Structure 1
């Protein structure tokens, strides 16, 4: 499964990057490819390209603040989660992403 994520938090510092790392580790541990863009206090890093969006199976976005350029994910399945939840429960969130994709395949 190809996962894209965007993490951002109100202060744009620690949780943004902690969430990106936790999500990356959880996805890789389960055998998925992942790229996580961070939208922190120093701007957007690890920018997701249009061709990556086309190839992605699912998008995971943090919802604690507005994600810039969110419209580029239109038509893709999206999971919106709190940045703190990503830090603490990344494994559960990746499992939920697997569930969402499995349900779409069954339809």
Structure 2
């Protein structure tokens, strides 16, 4: 599965980067490709490209605040969760996505 994500917490520092690392680790351990954009106090980092979004099977919005650029995902399957879900239960989140979005072959 190809995943793109946007992560942003209220302060734009700690939980943003912890959630990014947890999501990356959980997805790659399960063999998925993931690219994660962060939006925080220092701006946007690792900005998703149009190609990244086009190729994605699912978009994860792990955010506690309003993020910018969400119109990019208008035609994509998305799931929105608070950052604490990404921090505390990233593996379970990826497993849920596998069950809901990976087609049986």
What's the TM-score, normalizing by structure 2?
Answer: 0.94
Is the counterpart of residue 21 in structure 1 residue 21 in structure 2?
A: yes
Aligned to 2:76: 76
Aligned to 1:57: 57
SS of alignment partner, residue 31 of structure 1: coil
Rounded to whole Å, the distance in 2 between the matches of 1:67 and 1:32 is: 24
Deviation at 1:100, TM superposition (A): 2.2
Rounded to whole Å, the distance in 2 between the matches of 1:52 and 1:63 is: 19
Aligned to 1:48: 48
SS of alignment partner, residue 65 of structure 1: coil
Which moved further from structure 2: 44-53 or 56-65?
56-65
What's the TM-score, normalizing by structure 1?
Answer: 0.93
Which moved further from structure 2: 17-26 or 56-65?
56-65
Rounded to whole Å, the distance in 1 between the matches of 2:25 and 2:14 is: 17
Rounded to whole Å, the distance in 1 between the matches of 2:38 and 2:81 is: 15
Structure 2 unaligned spans of 5+:
none
Deviation at 1:19, TM superposition (A): 0.3
Deviation at 1:75, TM superposition (A): 1.1
Moved over 3 A (4+): none
Q: How many positions carry a matched residue from both structures?
A: 104
Rounded to whole Å, the distance in 2 between the matches of 1:67 and 1:100 is: 25
Rounded to whole Å, the distance in 1 between the matches of 2:62 and 2:42 is: 17
Alpha-carbon RMSD: 1.0
Rounded to whole Å, the distance in 1 between the matches of 2:99 and 2:70 is: 22
